[in-house]
Amino acid sequence: MTDVWKEAEKAREKRRKLIADLTLQGKFWGKDGALRLEEEFLMICKMARLRFATEKFRIPNFVPAIPAEFFSAASSTYYTASANASAHAKQSANLFSKLFWYWRAWICLRKAKKYSDKFAELKSIEDMTLGELDTRACVLNKCGRRQEALDYLSHGIMKLASTGIDNDPEVENKHDLCLFLIHKAEILLEMKNKDKKAQEDYDRAIRLSDYEDEVPILTRVRVWKSYGKFSAETGYVDISKYALGKALFLAKKNGLSDQEQKILAIAKKYKLTLS
C-alpha cells in the first residue's frame, strides 16, 4: 500500500507542476491546456481512491476522495484563467471575439467559486496555509464578496504577525505579505475614501518586493502590475506608466506570458502607451 501510494503521490506532484507551468505561460485553453489537465487531475484523484477501495486497501472513511488543497489549487487555476480570458476580451477588436472571451471568463470564475467554496467546506480558515488564504480571498473578491475576502486577508496578515511583521527586513514570508497587501489594497480601492490606506499598503508591498532574493519574480510583477492599475484608477498617469512598464519588462524578461497579457490589457483599458 505504501509503495503504491508513494507512486500516486509522485504522479500527482508531477501533474500539479505541469499545470502550474502552463498557468504561468498563460496556456489555459485546448486539450493540452491547464484547464483540461486540471479537470483530468481531479478526476484521476477521485478514481484513484475508488481503485484503492476496490482493491480492498484500507482507506479511512474520513479521507476525502479529493484532498482539500487540490480544490484550492483548482480554484486558483480557474481564477487565473478567468483573468486571462478577460484580458483577451479587453484586447479584442471584434465584438464576437470580445463576447466569447468574456463568456469564457464568466465560466472560469464560476468554476473558481465552486472549487473555492468546496475547499472552504473541507478546511477551516484556521487550518489554511497562507497561499490558500490568499487564493480564497481573491476568488471571493472577484465574486463581489469583499468583506469575506478582507476577513481572509486579515487572517493571513495576523498569521504573519509573529514573524516581525512591523520590521520589513525581519518578515519571513515577504512573498505572502506582498500578495496580502496588494490584494487588500485592491479591495480598499473599491471602497469609498480608502485610497490613502490602499496607498500605504502598496508602498509597503513595493518596499518588500525590493528584497529580490526573498520575493519571487512573479510576485514582483504582480505588485507592480497592481500598483500600475491603482495609479491609473486614481489619476496618476505617469506613475501608472512607470509601474506597468516595469511590470511588463520583468514579465517579458522572465517569460511570464500570462502576466504580460494582463499588463497590456490594463494599459489598453486606460489608454496608456508603455515603452
C-alpha neighbours within 13 Å on the C-beta side of residue 26? 18
The Cα–Cα gap between 78 and 108 comes to: 5
Query: Which residue in 143, 136, 134, 141 sits closest to 108, CA to CA?
Result: 143
CA torsion through residues 22, 27, 28, 32, sign: negative
Encode pLDDT of 203-251 as tens digits. Answer: 999 999 999 888 999 999 999 999 999 999 999 999 999 999 999 999 9
What is the arithmetic mean of pLDDT over 6-10?
62
**Residue 150 and residue 181: Cα distance in Å, rounded?**
11
| Nearest 10 degrees: Cα torsion 256, 262, 266, 271 | 80
Q: Contact 34/81 with Cβ under 8 angstroms? A: yes
Q: Which is nearest to 177 in space by CA: 142, 109, 123, 223?
A: 223
Of 35-39, 58-62, 64-68, which range is least confident?
58-62
- DSSP conformational letter for 165: T
CA distances from 33 to 2, 47, 151 (A): 32, 21, 33
DSSP string, 214-261: TS-HHHHHHHHHHHHHHHHHTT-HHHHHHHHHHHHHHHHHTT-HHHHH
Cell of 149: 475576502
pTM (predicted TM-score): 0.82
pLDDT tens for 176-210 read 999 999 999 999 998 877 888 999 999 999 999 99
User: Which DSSP string do the residues of 46-91 spell out, in sequence order?
Assistant: HHHHHHHHHTT----TTS-SS-HHHHHHHHHHHHHHHHHHHHHHHH
How remote is the C-alpha of 185 from its chain's centroid?
Answer: 15
pLDDT of 60? 47
Angle at 28 between CA 26 and CA 30, to 5 degrees: 135
Nearest alpha-carbon partner for 256 in 219, 229, 228? 219
On the question of pLDDT at 63 being above 50, the answer is no
CA-CA-CA-CA torsion for 105, 108, 109, 114, nearest 10 degrees? Answer: 170
